[in-house]
Amino acid sequence: MARVLFDHVTKRFGEVVAVNDLNLEVTDGEFLVLVGPSGCGKSTTLRMLAGLDAITEGSIYIGDRRVDNVPAKDRDLAMVFQSYALYPHMSVGDNIGFGLKLRGASKSQVRERVERAAETLGIEELLERKPRALSGGQRQRVALGRAIVREPEVFLLDEPLSNLDAKLRVQTRTEISKLHRRLGTTFVYVTHDQVEAMTMATRIAVLNLGLLQQVGPPQELYERPANVFVAGFIGSPSMNFFQPVVRSEGETLRLDMHGLSIEVPARWVPGLLPYDGRPIVLGVRPEHIHDPAYLPSGVLPASIRATVDVTELMGNETFLHLDREGTRFLARVDPRTQATPAQEAEVVIDVSRMHAFDPETEQRIEAQAAPAEASGTEAVS
Amino acid sequence: MSLGVPVPAREGRPALGYWFRATWARLPLHAAVIGFAVLWSVPTVALLISSFREPSAIASSGWWTATVDTLTLDNYRTVLDQRGMGRSFINSVLITLPATALVVLVASGAAYAFAWMPFRGRGLLFLVVVGLLVVPLQMTLIPVLRLYAAMTVNEELPLLGGNVFGINSFTGIWLAHAAYGMPFAIFLLRNFFSSLPRDLIEAAKLDGASEWQVFWRIVLPLSVPALAALGIFQFLWTWNDLLIALVLLGDPDLAPMTLRITNLVGSFGSSYQLLTAAAFISMALPLVVFFAFQRFFVQGILAGATKG
């Protein structure tokens, strides 16, 4: 077990900067998820940690050891690949035990630890088989087995669930979380899927275009995204953005857009005061737009009328695709909501859950701490 | 469930009709393929039958007139006993097997480095190796011969015979064959090796494997078809080689079969019964090798075409 530290790490491929001055500490025993769209540098970050790609600038520490020039085989890491990368010519047992054998463990030791790992993952009866005789889910487990059997300092997982079908993915997700809790080892997990990130991570690091955008626990990223990118990336379906203009009216501030005027809650006033007369980016999550007929408690309502574009009935909820004077947005409302496409409907924005961003820097405009607000615990799926 | 639509019968005649249609459609193709196969085999069959016939029969009638009771094994007996073909068969084996092994061993190591070990100048060096493919062997014979002449160690090599190195030595001809076979061998194996999934190599490294262990435990076992195909190619080339043996092995005691048969043509140009028998003896081992490994051979020609 060990902490991992990225200290001003930069990776360039020719002219392209894949990772730009990354500073990130993964504490011992943590489950850190690196998430971002494709090409954001998350896989490169993992590969640099693994020793598969060289670092252009900066250093990486595992524990107290600086590993910049340590070859992959001496870093004491285990990695689960997206393709599983099982050795096709070896049986499952040999696949799992390969690393132990190379490190000079005795035959009986290898057998014992392979069996223990297989038992942990429920693949005891597969040990004699060749990888090609296994299903995708079974291969996935073998790949995990190959990683855990070595009891490495850090586990690296590179999109390990992408090749599984949806049902198996959910199941394996919880299993990996359980595995992490049981082993207590540091996990670094790469994915492009923010749902995986939200459900598994103790902390998430969001990357975009090689730059670290924000690091924090899932709930913090959801509630206080540092910038427009994180706000749009974390949460599913993603956040709606509007571009209202701030206008002061006596002691209060109002946000004007599309012939609407919304009063800014008091705790946002100090932050938004400097923007008086200027536009800002207003973010509202679909789950914070409600049908007035089924309003939950604790909502600070601001009513808005819009044309219904499409309704998507999911059973447990309904998605309303709305259009207000060319601005499209999505509301995630109570399934009992009655709405007909092409007709006007009234929805209610919960202003207490709004997010504000500077339109130029795209950085978050902070509100004061909410005194009485029940901290949100919405399930994100 | 009634849909009100008649469901077509699925078994019986429709399937049979389809089979007929498919067969008819492919008949011209099959006929052509069989035709070519027969045409290609005729000379070999003629050679085989002639090798079992009396000299007088060969002189007076065509091979297709032969009947089973007129055939004889005398030709083979003569060739093997009196014309030194037995010794040259052994020489051919002594030349071919080590030369083949040397090519496969060295080329696989080089190919691994070209495929998976980044080093400065790798691309250029590989280009040079591939470039050697276009250098005609004949151009190099005189320089190599002069070099060998200068380097000849005129002492008898224990067990095998011949000189220790240089002209008239087994070691010299192994080295020559290995060197001439190397560009193609490296080219073939490097392309096969680099088609192996990168993840496998990286997984092995994270499992703690050194380059040597990756090569020996991952890359080589996964490349058996390519190695076998290369082995067969190299075996056939070396076995069928006349030119290099002619230049480097003057000593008749060391001559391989190709050289011996050429000499037979010179001294017994009209003794077709002996020439055909000798030719067939020289074909025997390659045929055995080919049929034993033809599965790998076909796979190996497609090496690198698709990921296994």
Does A227 score more than 90 pLDDT? Answer: yes
The answer, for B212 touching chain A at a CB cutoff of 8 Å, is: no
Q: If you average pLDDT over residues A330-353, what whole number do you get?
A: 91
Q: Which of A85, A89, A150 sits opposite B197 (nearest CB)?
A: A85
pLDDT digits over A80-130, tens only? 999 999 999 999 999 999 999 998 889 999 999 999 999 988 899 999 999
Does A199 score more than 60 pLDDT? Answer: yes
The pLDDT confidence band at residue A375, using thresholds 50, 70 and 90, is very low
Does B149 score more than 70 pLDDT? Answer: yes
Residue B269: Cβ-neighbour burial (10 angstroms; 0-12, 13-18, 19+):
exposed
User: B143: cis peptide before it, omega within 30°?
Assistant: no
Q: If you average pLDDT over residues A309-316, what whole number do you get?
A: 92
Distance CA A82, CA A159 (A): 5
Q: What is the three-class DSSP state of A71?
A: coil
Pick the residue of A74, A79, A140 with the most B CBs within 10 A to test the interface with B by mutation: A79
Query: What is the nearest CA distance from A73 to chain B, expressed in angstroms?
Result: 4
Residue A327: Cβ-neighbour burial (10 angstroms; 0-12, 13-18, 19+):
middle
Does A15 score more than 80 pLDDT? Answer: yes
First to last CA, chain B: 45
Q: If you average pLDDT over residues B215-223, what whole number do you get?
A: 93
pLDDT score at B276: 87
Structure token pair of residue A322: 């709305």
Q: Which of A240, A231, A225 is nearest to A289 (CA)?
A: A240
Pick the residue of A82, A102, A146, A150 with the most B CBs within 10 A to test the interface with B by mutation: A102
Does B306 score more than 90 pLDDT? Answer: no
> Mean of the per-residue pLDDT values for chain A?
90
- Residue that is written with structure tokens 């601001």 in the block: A302
**Cα-Cα-Cα-Cα dihedral of B20, B26, B32, B33, to 10°?**
-100
Residue A20: Cβ-neighbour burial (10 angstroms; 0-12, 13-18, 19+):
middle
Q: How many CA atoms lie within 13 A of A101 on its CB side?
A: 13
pLDDT score at B184: 94
Residues 161-180 of B with CB under 8 A from A: none
pLDDT digits over B159-169, tens only? 787 788 888 89
Q: If you average pLDDT over residues B17-36, what whole number do you get?
A: 87
Please count the residues of chain A.
Answer: 381
pLDDT score at A378: 40
pLDDT score at B63: 86
pLDDT score at B131: 93
* Least reliable range by pLDDT among A117-121, A292-296, B25-29, B303-307: B303-307
Contact A73 B207 (CB under 8 A): yes
pLDDT score at B121: 94
Q: If you average pLDDT over residues A161-171, what whole number do you get?
A: 88
pLDDT score at B289: 83
pLDDT digits over B117-137, tens only? 999 999 999 999 999 999 998
Contact B205 A52 (CB under 8 A): yes
From chain A, the residues in CB contact with B203 under 8 A are: 79, 81, 85, 87, 146
pLDDT score at B2: 44
Q: If you average pLDDT over residues A336-360, what whole number do you get?
A: 91
Query: What is the nearest CA distance from B203 to chain A, expressed in angstroms?
Result: 7
* Least reliable range by pLDDT among A216-230, A352-366, B70-84, B161-175: B70-84
pLDDT digits over A257-282, tens only? 877 888 888 888 889 989 999 999 99
| Helical pair B137-151 and B170-194, crossing angle rounded to 10 deg | 130
Pick the residue of A47, A94, A98 with the most B CBs within 10 A to test the interface with B by mutation: A98
Contact B199 A83 (CB under 8 A): yes
Does A312 score more than 60 pLDDT? Answer: yes
pLDDT score at A190: 96
Distance CA A56, CA A59 (A): 9
**Cα-Cα-Cα-Cα dihedral of A304, A306, A312, A316, to 10°?**
20
Contact B200 A85 (CB under 8 A): yes
What domains are there in chain B, each with its CATH number? 16-74 (no CATH), 76-305 (1.10.3720.10)
Structure token pair of residue B295: 């599965």
* Least reliable range by pLDDT among A357-361, B1-5, B164-168, B173-177: B1-5
Q: If you average pLDDT over residues A73-80, what whole number do you get?
A: 91
Q: If you average pLDDT over residues B67-81, what whole number do you get?
A: 84
Q: If you average pLDDT over residues A187-206, what whole number do you get?
A: 94
Does A13 score more than 90 pLDDT? Answer: yes
Distance CA A228, CA B138 (A): 71
pLDDT digits over B263-304, tens only? 887 776 677 888 888 888 888 888 888 888 777 766 655 544
Q: Which of B202, B209, B222 sits opposite A102 (nearest CB)?
A: B209
* Least reliable range by pLDDT among A109-118, A187-196, B17-26: B17-26
The pLDDT confidence band at residue A376, using thresholds 50, 70 and 90, is very low
The answer, for B210 touching chain A at a CB cutoff of 8 Å, is: yes
3-state SS track over chain B? CCCCCCCCCCCCHHHHHHHHHHHHHHHHHHHHHHHHHHHHHHHHHHHHHHHCCCHHHHHHCCHHHCCHHHCCCHHHHHHHHHCCHHHHHHHHHHHHHHHHHHHHHHHHHHHHHHHHCCCCCHHHHHHHHHHHHHCCHHHHHHHHHHHHHHHCEEEECCCCCCEEECCCCHHHHHHHHHHHHHHHHHHHHHHHHHCCCHHHHHHHHHCCCCHHHHHHHHHHHHCHHHHHHHHHHHHHHHHHCCHHHHHHCCCHHHCCHHHHHHHHHHHCCCCHHHHHHHHHHHHHHHHHHHHHHHHHHHHHHCCCCCCC
pLDDT score at B13: 56
pLDDT score at B98: 95
The pLDDT confidence band at residue B18, using thresholds 50, 70 and 90, is confident
Q: Is B84 left (phi over 0), alpha (psi -120 to 50) or beta?
A: left
pLDDT score at A260: 83
> Mean of the per-residue pLDDT values for chain B?
85
Does B187 score more than 50 pLDDT? Answer: yes
The answer, for A70 touching chain B at a CB cutoff of 8 Å, is: no
Q: Which of B76, B45, B47, B50 is nearest to B61 (CA)?
A: B50
Does A34 score more than 80 pLDDT? Answer: yes
pLDDT score at A225: 95
Signed CA dihedral, B60, B66, B70, B76: sign only: positive
ipTM above 0.85, yes or no: no
The pLDDT confidence band at residue B214, using thresholds 50, 70 and 90, is very high
